[in-house]
Amino acid sequence: MKELQFRYHPIVVGLKINEDGSEIYLNGLLLKQFVNDVNRQNPTLKVNFGNRAHSVIRLVCEAWNGLSETTSQRASKINQLSNNHYSNLEWKEGASNGVGNFKQKLNATDVDEILQMIETGKSLKSIAQIYGVHQSTISRLRDKYVEKDK
């Protein structure tokens, strides 16, 4: 039987991953894999380190196929019924949590226009209706970018 090869992760120091993600070592210690969200049709395998859970397919894709070009990309299987081998993984546009492909509703131009409307006193509810987003989205933009009177 062919011995699996390993590569080191391009960012996480000491993280070594084999070509199908079945063995992941951090500083020489084998990380225990667990199934995340067993109720999903294709549950995600994860490993814990650095105080958080990390997707096995993302780690394999990063180590073997290179880092994603943008933060909006997620690691995805080419053939859903196949394994986590790097040759079956690719970067796809969409949610990093793998739940679906979500297009951002607001772009930078929209945000600039929204902030101008807020400054002129237009209601958050009416702005939200214009852009087809929830009022809380507009509220978060206001809280993040509009200076409060002191």
Write the CB contacts of 15 (distance below 8 Å, at least 6 apart in sequence): 8, 9, 24, 25, 26, 49, 59, 63
Within 10 Å of residue 61's Cβ, how many Cβ atoms? 26
Structure tokens at 100: 């679906």
Q: What is the pLDDT of residue 28?
A: 95
Q: What is the pLDDT of residues 98-139, one digit of tens each?
A: 444 445 677 778 888 999 999 999 999 999 888 888 899 899
Q: For residues 33-49, b (16+ Cβ closer than 10 Å) or e, as one string? A: eeeeeeeeeeebbbbeb
**Over residues 2-16, mean pLDDT:** 90
Q: Which pair of structure tokens corresponds to residue 85?
A: 């081998």
- pLDDT value for 102: 46
- Summarised one tens digit per residue, pLDDT across range 64-101 is 999 988 777 889 888 887 889 999 999 988 754 444 44
Residues 6+ apart with CB under 8 A from 136: none
pLDDT at 37: 75
pTM summary value: 0.61
What's the pLDDT at 99?
46
Q: What is the pLDDT of residue 106?
A: 78
Residue 149 is predicted with a pLDDT of 59
